[in-house]
Amino acid sequence: MPAFDLPLDELQRYRPVLDEPADFDAFWQDTLEEAETEAEGAGPVVSQCPVDTSLRLVETWDVTFRGFAGEPVRAWYTRPAGVSRALPAVVEYAGYGRGRGLPHERITWPAAGFAHLLMDNRGQGDRYGCGGDTPDPHASAPGGPGPAARGLLAPRDYHYRRLITDAVRAVAAVRALPGVDGARVSAVGNSQGGGLALAVAGLVPDLAAVLVSAPLLCGIRRALDLAGAGPYDEIAAYLAVRREAVGAALHTLSYVEGASFARRAHAPAHFGVGLRDTVCPPSGAFAAFNRYGELTGREPRREMHTYPFNGHEGGDAVHVRGQLSWLRAVVDDAAGGADGAAAGDAVGGADGGMAGGAVGG
């Protein structure tokens, strides 16, 4: 796939004007307060049951927690076997069309010494991987058949209002689980999962870190024009038939724009993107990165790593290797009382190294 988005030097300066609704903050505050009210007095976790995975170096529990509207959301909770002390935790969000799958599919983070919660995607899980276990009772709202277009005509009906709320509640859930250092909880995700992690960073001010790669729901308007496959294409296909619904759809999408969440984020952030990604165009990731933390009154620590000849796979395992090293340093800083969110930003090259100096103290 040839390069098709802006050149890298323009991406590094790309700060699109956001069509951000005036009630963006109130919308999300009300949404999250409604979810907390549903769980009030009961706690975020519904159940946790040990699972025999035949893996001897990690232990796994089948967890159910209260998500949007207090509805049950499934997750896998995995940690190193035989370790009783409180560990830093990673909450991971899966990609579009995936569910939580099977518990042995994603063990990188617990193998690295983290407690790990992998959230199921409500109403998804039937396109890739090994399925999901969380229904979406609200999936009949007007919109297209795919999750990206479900409820698209009204912000309160939209699928991603529910999924983002689940993602925020997953952080509360992991903090309530045994053996978790609640002060060192990070969010991580790729593609749709990256968009969810970024939303959580904007809605949960005390995250330890956020790791985002190839994020969906960033630079949405431009992505609708550029993307040639995946969720954006589903939205475009729906609007090709419902021509009169364009205005309503764009209004709804403005409430889940990743760059708007990024503006409100405090946590240190690690980004990655393939510059030939036609599913989640790189300009969306840069729109979020370049505005990251701008409403917080400080510059959170942040890094962007780019892979010029890669598409939606980005840096793949090479990028994960960099994530592991970076996050270990961040959580170790936090444990030692260091700032962990010192000012600075940099843009990384395809080898995972820093292509340009860090800025800040």
Give the number of domains in the chain: 1
The Cα 4–Cα 167 span in angstroms is: 32
For the CA atoms of the chain, what is the radius of gyration? 19
Instruction: Please check whether residue 131 lies inside any domain of the structure.
Output: yes
Instruction: Please check whether residue 1 lies inside any domain of the structure.
Output: no
The single-letter DSSP state of residue 314 is T
Instruction: Please check whether residue 356 lies inside any domain of the structure.
Output: no
How does residue 336 score in pLDDT terms, banded at 50, 70 and 90? confident
- The string of pLDDT tens digits covering residues 243-271 is 999 999 999 999 999 999 999 999 999 99
Instruction: Please check whether residue 357 lies inside any domain of the structure.
Output: no
Q: What separation in angstroms does the CA of 135 have from each of 77, 95, 125, 192, 237?
A: 19, 16, 10, 18, 24
DSSP 32-77: HHHHHHHHTTT-SEEEEEEE--S-SSEEEEEEEEE-GGG-EEEEEE
Other beta carbons within 10 Å of 204: 21
CATH number for the domain spanning 28: value is: 3.40.50.1820
- The string of pLDDT tens digits covering residues 163-175 is 999 999 999 999 9
Active site residue 312: yes
Which of these is catalytic: 266, 270, 305, 312?
Answer: 312
Q: What is the mean pLDDT of residues 141-149?
A: 81
Which of these is catalytic: 166, 186, 191, 333?
Answer: 191
Instruction: Please check whether residue 104 lies inside any domain of the structure.
Output: yes
Res 228: pLDDT? 79
The Cα 213–Cα 305 span in angstroms is: 9
Instruction: Please check whether residue 262 lies inside any domain of the structure.
Output: yes
The model's pTM: 0.92
Decide if pLDDT at 352 tops 60: no
Residue 41 CB partners (closer than 8 Å, separation 6+) = none
Instruction: Please check whether residue 119 lies inside any domain of the structure.
Output: yes
- The string of pLDDT tens digits covering residues 288-331 is 999 999 999 988 999 999 999 999 999 999 999 999 999 999 99
Q: Which domain holds residue 35?
A: 8-348
Share of the chain above pLDDT 70, in %: 93
Res 348: pLDDT? 55
Decide if pLDDT at 344 tops 60: no
Which of these is catalytic: 5, 120, 136, 277?
Answer: 277
Instruction: Please check whether residue 355 lies inside any domain of the structure.
Output: no
The Cα 251–Cα 163 span in angstroms is: 18
